């Protein structure tokens, strides 16, 4: 797992971001950090122990967990026993059953993506993830710098370890869903999060071109403790 501090040392509050599959810090680099410190977790081919990061959390006045796409599943796996450390836990365009015909990415689509994975398949995924030309242009300027091999490795591992978490109570208190998500279909997300506070926004699976600062996400859901 990649633990990447995008901003460190200036803030009294910390944002922990669990990234989507195949990503790194670069698709988030358009977001200004101030006044927060920000750490981005990516590449879940190994869900490493995060004891050092847990120790870091204790240094901050407040910590916020923001998880996107496959990171929603990963965030719950990584921090399920640490809920009390976070003022808010926010899920964006993801569920705890990320490979599921009713609540996530349809099973056959996920399997076909892995089986046929190539640079052209990845490019098609990015275009579906962004949908609109302006969003894709923004993403392309901030696209991840990971190798195709590392992305495929992560995808293969996720297929083998992603398990339905339906029986595990979610610790997310706020959910953001894009109205035209072609990766994890909007209707599947809506079906999964029926018992949670949901904020629906316009746009596609990759929503980060709409925000200028990390604080914009927190302001959308509210920063105060649930």
**What pLDDT was estimated at residue 225?**
60
pLDDT block averages, 10 residues each, the chain of length 226: 90 96 97 96 87 90 98 94 94 96 95 96 97 95 97 95 73 97 98 94 98 97 73
The pLDDT value given to residue 10: 81
- pLDDT value, residue 9: 85
Cis (ω within 30 of 0) for the bond into 35? Answer: yes
pLDDT the model gives residue 164: 62
Q: Give me the residue spans of the domains in the chain.
A: 2-221
**What is the structure's pLDDT at 11?**
81
Q: What is the model's pLDDT at position 165?
A: 62
DSSP for 43-106?
Answer: -TTS----HHHHHHHTTSSEEEEEEETHHHHHHHHHHTT-GGG-SEEEEES--S--B-TTTSB-
Which CATH code is given to the segment(s) 2-221? 3.40.50.1820
Residue pair 194/95 in contact by the 8 Å Cβ criterion: no
Contacts of 25 (CB under 8 A, 6+ apart): 4, 6, 40, 42
């Amino acid at each position: 797992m990649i633990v990447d501090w995008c901003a460190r040392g200036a803030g009294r509050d910390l944002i922990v971001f669990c990234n989507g599959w195949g990503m790194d810090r670069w698709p988030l680099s358009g977001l200004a950090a101030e006044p927060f410190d920000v750490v981005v977790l990516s590449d879940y081919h190994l869900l490493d122990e995060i004891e050092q990061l847990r120790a870091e959390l204790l240094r901050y006045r407040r910590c916020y967990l923001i998880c996107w796409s496959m990171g929603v599943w990963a965030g719950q796996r990584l921090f399920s026993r640490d809920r009390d450390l976070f003022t808010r836990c926010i899920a964006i365009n993801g569920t705890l059953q990320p490979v599921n015909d009713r609540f996530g990415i349809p099973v056959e689509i996920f399997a076909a993506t892995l089986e046929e994975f190539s640079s052209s398949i990845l490019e098609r995924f990015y275009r579906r993830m962004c949908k609109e030309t302006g969003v894709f242009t923004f993403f392309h300027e901030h696209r991840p710098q990971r190798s195709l091999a590392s992305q495929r490795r992560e995808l293969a591992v996720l297929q083998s370890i992603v398990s339905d978490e339906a029986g595990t109570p979610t610790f997310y208190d706020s959910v953001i869903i894009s109205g035209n998500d072609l990766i994890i279909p909007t209707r599947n997300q809506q079906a999964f999060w029926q018992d949670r506070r949901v904020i629906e926004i316009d746009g596609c699976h990759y929503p980060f071109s709409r925000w200028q600062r990390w604080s914009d996400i927190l302001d959308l859901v509210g920063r105060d403790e649930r």
